[in-house]
Amino acid sequence: MTGASPDRQPGLAPSAWVLRFAGLVPAGGAVLDLACGGGRHARLFLARGHRVTAVDIDTGGVADLAADPRAEIVAADLENGAWPLGGRAFDGVVVTNYLWRPLLPLIAASVAPGGVLIYETFARGNERFGRPSNPDFLLAEGELLRAVEGRLRVVAYECLEVTEPRPAVVQRIAAARDGSGVSSTASPREHA
Ligand SMILES: C[S@@+](CC[C@H](N)C(=O)[O-])C[C@H]1O[C@@H](n2cnc3c(N)ncnc32)[C@H](O)[C@@H]1O
């Protein structure tokens, strides 16, 4: 799902869904912000005291975070290259406004025991409001539920029309991997 997007604007507010479930990420744990754009959620979790790995094909939006020792910036083409994170697992995995279906199993597998996946993106019906309108980039009914089924425990799920921050049809999930909550990926710097 390439191309310019308003979500790459610096200073864009965090998603209300991500804010709502951010507290489920174990304190001090490592967070993955996949397809991070301008890094609104990377910044949110850094401010909350987490280590953050921010991945995008274009890391220009998070270049300013490179000086932060708690931030790991990974430039990777998630759709045409190898999965850039090996077998690493994270206490929080955040994906917003991005969909590349082949990654869904890897995303669910990237949640460490005790960790949580917070995912929100556009769903079918959004074509009424504009982009994305390509079905490849729109979740089908229940698709996020199926993506975590047998892997993670669903904490909350919604598929609905919203008006904020702009009219859209979105699907979103918060789903946890039950476990000790003490695992998590090693320090980003150990993997750099
Ligand atoms: C709509 S923006 C969402 C940004 C961020 N998640 C947010 O919600 O603020 C989509 C992001 O996906 C990234 N992206 C698109 N295609 C990609 C690819 N093949 N590999 C990695 N990132 C990609 C874009 O660079 C962009 O930053």
Q: Can you tell me the distance from the alpha carbon of 126 to that of 43, in angstroms, rounded to the nearest whole number?
A: 27
For residue 106, is it within any domain? yes
Closest CA to ligand 1's atom 23:
57
Ligand 1 proximity of 84 Cβ (cutoff 6 Å): no
For residue 5, is it within any domain? no
Atom in ligand 1 nearest the alpha carbon of residue 7 = 9
CA 168, 148, 178 angle in degrees (round to 5)?
Answer: 120
Total domains, the chain? 1
For residue 62, is it within any domain? yes
For residue 170, is it within any domain? yes
- The predicted model scores a pTM of 0.91
Ligand 1 proximity of 97 Cβ (cutoff 6 Å): yes
User: What CATH number does residue 130 fall under?
Assistant: 3.40.50.150
For residue 85, is it within any domain? no
For residue 43, is it within any domain? yes
Task: Write out pLDDT tens, residues 88-125.
Answer: 999 999 999 999 999 999 999 999 999 999 999 999 99
51 alpha-carbon distance from chain centroid: 14
Task: Write out pLDDT tens, residues 31-63.
Answer: 999 999 999 999 999 999 999 999 999 999 999
